Structures are given as C-alpha cells and as structure tokens.
A and B are shown apart, each in its own frame.
Chain A
Amino acid sequence: MVIALIACGVMAISGINPWLVLVLLVVWSGSLILAAVTPPPAAPPPRRSAFSEASISELIEHSSTPLLMTNRNRVSIANEAARRVLGNHIIDQDVRVAFRHPEAVALLQRDGPGSATIHGLARRKDIYLMNRQVMDERFAIIELVNQTTEAQVSRAHTDFVANASHELRTPLASIIGYVETLQDDGDSVPQATRKKFLDTIQAEATRLQSLVSDLMSLSRVEAEKHEEPDEQVALKQLIETAARDAAGLERNAQIAFDCTEDVVVQGDERQLEQLVRNLVDNALKYGAPGAVVSISLDRPEANRARLRVTDQGEGIAPEHLPFLTRRFYRTDPGRSRAYGGTGLGLAIVKHIVERHRGLLDISSELGRGTTVEIRLPISLSA
C-alpha cells in the first residue's frame, strides 16, 4: 500500500497524466485490499448424520446374519447374507417385495421396533425370526435369525421320544397281556398253550432288553461323538471275533471272511466290535436263509481301510436307502419286529462311523442283496 502511494507520487511528480496516475492508484490499492481480506468462509458442507449409507453398508456387508436397512418403504441396504436369503432383486424395492408374509407386513407397518416369527420367508418350510429396530422416522434396521434348524432339532427330539416310548410300549403290552391271562385262568390253559405264552413273554422281554441296551449304546456313542477315539485297533482279529459272536454257533458256517492284510486303525475297540456285530447281524437277519454272508477287509487306498459286508437277500428298494440310518426307520416294520430288530442298529453304526471320521455307504440291488461298505482312516503313525 505504502509502496503504491510512493510509486504513484513519483509518477505524478514526474509529469505523467494525473488522471492516469489516479486510476492506477485506485486499481493497485483496490487489488491489494481485495487480496488482504480473507475470503468469506466457504458454505458449510450440508449437515450429514454421523453415519452415511456407504459406511453402514460396509459395516454390515460381511456379517453372517442377514441384515437390511430400510428407508421409508424401500430396502436401501441388504448385506450379503440377506441377499443370499431373499435374492439380489430386493435392493431399492418396496420392503413388501422382500417380506410379503402378512406377519412381516404388519411388523413393517408398525411405528416402533418389534419382532415377528415368519414361517416360509424364502422357502416354504423355513422359519425366521425377524427383528426390526427403528432408527428415526425414515430408517429402520431389520435383522433375520434363521430358526429352521432349531425347529427341526427340537422336532427330531420330540419324534425320538415319541418313537422310543412307542417301541418300548409295544412289547410291554403283550407281556402284560399274556401274564394277566396266565394269572387269571392259568389253570384252565392247556400246557402247550401256556408254554407258547411263556415263550412269547420271553421273546418280548428279550426284545425289550435289547432295545434298552441299544438305546443306551446309542446315547453313549452320541455323547462321545466329539471325542476322538485313541486306541490302536487291529481290525482283522476284531472283525473275525465280532462276526462269529454275532452269528452265534448255529449260523457260524454262513460267514465267509476274506482278509488280505491286517489293518490297524485308531479307534474305539468296543464300538468297532459293536459296529461289526450290528452289520453282520443285519446281513444274517435280512439275507436269504442259509445263504452266505461275505465279509471282507482290505486297503484300497494307502490311508483307508475298507470293510464290506455283503448279503444275498432280497435287497432294499432305492427309495428307502436315504433313511436307513434314521432311528426306528424300518423298510418293513412287521418283518423287522419278527426278527427282534430294534430299528436302531444302523443308527448306531452311523454314529460310530462318524466318530471314527469314516464313510458309510450302502448299496443294494433288489433281488440280489445289499452291501454295506465302511471306510475308516488308517492311523499312519502305527
């Protein structure tokens, strides 16, 4: 400024047009004034909420729980899990497109937070718990909790208890019936009939006993399911003993055992014995009477032992195969009971195989017979 004044003074003295000097002075000092004043603060950025849509989206994207954010009546964000359940199309759609179940619609139209259980959200048989948290008058967060498995587990549990009670009651009913008959008019019953009654009572009592012991082993195997078995078991001897044991003296000749090499696996000796017993027992029971049951043990891969039990029975229809290891599942209930089966044999086998990290495979051809194949990992350290 001072420099500008002095310069203009010099110019005026040196005889330059005073008007020109004046204009120069005004422009010069004016520009200096403009430059000196700090520019007015820029308009403050539009006030954003503490969160932005992008940051929320990033935050919830990888959560394994399905999460959605709604903006008024639209879905504005849905994380990966939610898109997997409801489909990719729901983004930016009306929330009712994502949740059309009447209970869900009622929940969405409510002002405050809340939750509802939705049957048949994405698939017809699934069950989800839907939690809705309202953030403000525009935004709400919806969380979905899949309860399908829980419902199935609790249902399986109820079914099991119902089945088990039913199975226990049936032999008891006939035992009680026959005992009552013998008590009431035992003297008038001919000797032969009385013998028949007593035999039935004994057969039913035996069945009850084996059912209870099967139930106990099943629950024991299930309880130990997550503990790795730690014994070194040589399979050849074990299989042979268990198979002969299952066959008993009178059916011993029906067993053909073929073993190329002995294999040692890490396992639970008692359980593996039971596994073989159950398989051989099944094969003898459902195979053709008198026909040979062949058992073989080999080692098709370096780290797997393979046990096969093959019968020559009438085979199992393919539609039954997926359910054979279910508890109390029977392809032919009448026949199974006649043989004293408990309906638990293969369920126990399955659990034992699972505990040994093995594989169970059942193949069957109608009219030809059934082969049960079990592969067990071999402990290479042994």
Chain B
Amino acid sequence: MKLPGKLSLNAIFLPFLGVLLCIGGWALISGKSVTKTTTKDDGWGDMITVTETKRVGLSADLPAPSETWVASKPYIVEPFAKRGELDQGILRFTWLSLKLVVQGYLLALLIGTPIGFLLGLSRNFTLAFDPIIQILRPVSPLAWLPLGMVMFSGLKIADASGRTAFGTSDAAALFTIAICAMWPTVLNTAVGVRAVPQDYLNVAKVLKLSRFKTLTKILIPSSLPYMFTGFRLSLGIAWLVIVAVEMLIGKPGIGGFLWQQYNANSFAHIILSIITIGLIGFILDRLMSLAESRFRTA
C-alpha cells in the first residue's frame, strides 16, 4: 500500500468530490414540495381556488439536502440546548448516548478480557465454551434486549428524591451493549494469548515465574496488541448497539431521538442523526486506532 507521504492536491480534493457526488445523488432521488394552485368548479357553479402542496420525486418523502439543513440547523447551532426531554441539541443527545455506551463497553471489557484469557490458556475451557460462544456471538442486539428486560424486571434503584435512577430498562440496555460488544474482545484476547511466542514462555519456565508474574510480566504485555484490536472492534459494536437499544426503550439519546423524529414525521432529523452517529463512530474508531498503534510499537 502506498501511503500519502505529502498531502497532494488529490488527497484534499477527491474526498470533497466524493461527498459532493453523494449529496448530488441524494438531491436527485429526494422529493420536493410542489404547491399547485388550481381553479375549479365547486359543484354549485362557483369557481374556487384550491392550493395543494404535494411532494414529488423518486422518493417523495425523503427530504432534500437543503431541507435537511434548514430543519437541522437549530440542533447544530445550539448543540447543547435542552428544550425538552426529547428535544435537545444534537451533541447533548450524543453525550447521553456516549455515557451509556461507555458504561456498557467497560462492562464488556471487564467480562470479555478474562474470558478471552481463559480461552487462550486452557484447551479444556475452549472445548467447553467455544461452541456456545460461536452460537451466542451472531445474536442481534434486538434479540438480547427483551431478554434483558425480563432478566432485570422489577429492578429499581431510586435516588434521594424517589425517582428511579437505575431501572429495568437501564439494566437491560447495559446488558445488551455488554453482551453484544464483548465478543471481539473475547476472541482477540484468546488469539493474542495463544500467539504468545514460545520463547517468552520458556523465559517464564526457566525463571520459574509464579502464575501471577507470568500473567502480568509475560502474557498480558505480549497479547496487548491483540487485545487492543479487540477493544477497538468492541467499541464499534457498542456504538452500533446503542442506537438499537435507545430506539427500543425510548431513552433520550441519539438513537432515541432518531426514532422519535421518525414517529413525528420529521424525516430530516433522521438524516441528521445518521450523519451524527456515523461521525461519532468514525471518531471513536480513530481514537482507538491511535491507542492501538501506541501499544503495537511498545
């Protein structure tokens, strides 16, 4: 692969062109409002003027880029506004979603990493649990969430004022994010542990390192690059899952906002949400890649 050593004109120009082409295609298929004024007989001999607004186009209800921008402007220029529980600035919603994602993601790492180590270290553990992992891994978040609601039904932790601070739906959301996001961490950690070079294990054997020291001085540092690949993929999945979870449980957040705006026929805001979700996901992935490359060279 050729890396762009210096930023050529193309490296700046072509991405813009790509975005422009996509927006162009979007404008082409999206609908527009057409107001038609007709004069017709009302049936009693009087001529009346009727003004009809209709949407026309290939996908008539899809808002055009310009309409999307106009409708989204209040959410973007005041990204942290709070006008109501489900009417907040776009970054405020994002923040709410990120908070939930981080909790679920940390839970995923906390559970996934030890399981990965056990899989990597013990052949018997792998034989026992690998089949069930392979079966649970492809299950969609939409399937896990109802189970979470059932598992944690009746859970209620109230804050000082008696309001539910952490209820069934919160627990179910965390459960869903954690169980969906942990698989890349589990599998990559296992691969990393299995890939620890025999040379390093020989050093541990010759020095008769204790199990704990072998883990902290040899196994963890050696498999860290693999683990970080897993961490990065897990974060990507956690971010995917959050949208689905918020849609189902109606929590305020970027996914909840998207679903609510669909129900409110504010289609432009769906597009705003999608672009935001994509951008945030991209930024998260870049940040994790940075952390990953640091550990790779170490």
Q: Do A and B bind each other?
A: no
- The residues of A with any CB-CB pair to B shorter than 8 Å are none
